[in-house]
A and B are shown apart, each in its own frame.
Chain A
Amino acid sequence: MRYAIIGTGVAGISAVESIRSVDRTAEVVMVGDDPHGYYSRPGLAYVLTGEMQDKSLFPKKRDDYARLKFNFLGARVTGIDRERKTLLLDGKAPLTYDKLLIATGASAIPLTVPGANLQGVFKLDDLEDARNILKYAKRGRTAVVIGGGITALELTEGLFARGMNVHYLLRGSRYWSNVLDEHESRTVEGRLQAEGVELHFRSEVQEVLGRAGKVAGVRLLNGKIIKCDLVAYAIGIKPRLSLAQSANLAMDRGILVNEFMQTNDPQIYAAGDVAQAYDPLTGRSVLDSLWNPAREQGRIAGLNMAGQTQPYIKSAPFNVTRLAGLTTTIIGAVGHGRDEDIVGIARGDSETWRQLPDAIVAQSGFDVNRVRLLVGEDHLIGAVVMGDQKLSMPLQKIIEKKINIASIKPKLLAKEARVADVIVDFWTNHLTAA
Chain B
Amino acid sequence: MSILNVFKTNASRQETASSGQVVPDPSRCVQCGICSYNCPINIDVRAHAWRGEPVKHSECLTCGECVARCPRGVLRFEKTDLFARSKS
Residues in chain A within 8 A of chain B (CB atoms):
10, 40, 42-43, 45-46, 51-53, 56-59, 61, 64, 291-292, 318, 320-322, 327, 329, 389-390, 392-394, 396, 424, 427-428, 431
Q: Which of B25-51 contact A (CB under 8 A)?
A: 25, 27-34, 36-38, 44, 46-47, 50
Known contacts A292-B27, A390-B9, A393-B6; decide if A327 and B33 are in contact (CB<8 Å): no
Instruction: Give Cα A392 to B25, complex, Å.
Output: 11
> Contact at B71–A322, with CB atoms within 8 Å?
yes
Q: Which residue of A lies closest to B49 (CB)?
A: A59
Q: How far is the CB of A330 from chain B (nearest CB, A)?
A: 12
* CB-contact partner of A390 in B7, B32, B72, under 8 A: B7
Q: How far is the CB of B31 from chain A (nearest CB, A)?
A: 4
Residues in chain B within 8 A of chain A (CB atoms):
3-4, 6-7, 9, 25, 27-34, 36-38, 44, 46-47, 50, 69, 71-74
The 17 sampled A-B contact pairs (Cβ below 8 Å) are: A40-B30, A43-B30, A43-B32, A46-B34, A46-B71, A51-B71, A52-B33, A57-B33, A58-B33, A59-B46, A59-B50, A320-B28, A322-B71, A329-B28, A329-B73, A394-B6, A424-B7
Q: Which residue of A lies closest to B8 (CB)?
A: A390
Q: Which residue of A lies closest to B26 (CB)?
A: A292
Which residues of chain A are near B29, meaning CB under 8 Å? 291
Instruction: Give Cα A327 to B6, complex, Å.
Output: 17
> Contact at B34–A393, with CB atoms within 8 Å?
no
Known contacts A59-B46, A59-B50, A318-B27; decide if A52 and B73 are in contact (CB<8 Å): no
Known contacts A40-B32, A56-B37; decide if A392 and B72 are in contact (CB<8 Å): no
Which residues of chain A are near B30, meaning CB under 8 Å? 40, 42-43, 291
Which residues of chain B are near A64, meaning CB under 8 Å? 47
> Contact at A52–B9, with CB atoms within 8 Å?
no
Instruction: Give Cα A394 to B3, complex, Å.
Output: 9
> Contact at B7–A327, with CB atoms within 8 Å?
no
**Shortest 5 CB-CB distances between A and B: which pairs?**
A43-B32, A42-B30, A320-B72, A56-B37, A40-B31
Instruction: Give Cα A320 to B75, complex, Å.
Output: 13
Instruction: Give Cα A57 to B30, complex, Å.
Output: 10
Q: How far is the CB of A156 from chain B (nearest CB, A)?
A: 15
> Contact at A52–B28, with CB atoms within 8 Å?
no
> Contact at B4–A428, with CB atoms within 8 Å?
yes
Which residues of chain A are near B28, meaning CB under 8 Å? 320, 329
> Contact at A390–B27, with CB atoms within 8 Å?
no
Known contacts A322-B71, A393-B6; decide if A10 and B31 are in contact (CB<8 Å): yes
> Contact at B34–A428, with CB atoms within 8 Å?
no
Q: How far is the CB of B28 from chain A (nearest CB, A)?
A: 5
Instruction: Give Cα A321 to B29, complex, Å.
Output: 10
Which residues of chain B are near A43, meaning CB under 8 Å? 30-34
> Contact at B27–A40, with CB atoms within 8 Å?
no
